[in-house]
Amino acid sequence: MEKPVYILNGPNLNMLGGREPGIYGGKTLVDIETDCREKATALNVSVEFRQSNHEGVLVDWVQEAAEHAAGIIINPGAYGHTSIALHDAIRAIAPLPVIEVHLSNIHAREPFRHQTMIAPVAIGMICGLGHLGYSLALEALAARL
């Protein structure tokens, strides 16, 4: 069986739906997971969809992906701006393809969101396109696999 694409979500993304909907949209993370599963079926890939508020858990999942995943889509939440540990974990599993996704346009927001520790070690980054970013990332990853 083909390995799944890991779709990893970082801190506070479990709060989507009620969390600043003007910035992040009205969909819950469960809605986004449902959309991803539909898109994955259309693309004939499988997905493993997870969320954690804990940096170390995300690092563990990136390491696990090296053996068990075909690639990673990660919305690292705020850890994307700060986590050298996630940056290093992604470097360590090269050349497994990783795409970073943010719902909001991090470059149009506060300066502390402009930096990403993940983009330099990802094959690409999508931000500002809301929940559609996940589907577009899946499409890009599927085309590459």
Would you name the residues annotated as active-site residues? 24, 102
Instruction: Determine which residue in the list 25, 71, 77, 97 makes contact with ligand DQA, applying CB under 6 A.
Output: 77
* Contact of 82 with 117, CB cutoff 8 Å: yes
Report if residue 132 touches ligand DQA, rule: CB under 6 A. no
- Comparing CB distances to ligand DQA, the nearer of 42 and 120 is 120
Stretch that binds ligand DQA, among 36-44, 60-68, 99-107, 137-145 (CB under 6 A): 99-107
Q: How many chain residues bind ligand DQA (CB under 6 A)?
A: 10
Stretch that binds ligand DQA, among 48-56, 73-81, 85-93, 118-126 (CB under 6 A): 73-81
Binding site for ligand DQA (CB under 6 A): 12, 75, 77-78, 80, 102-104, 106, 113
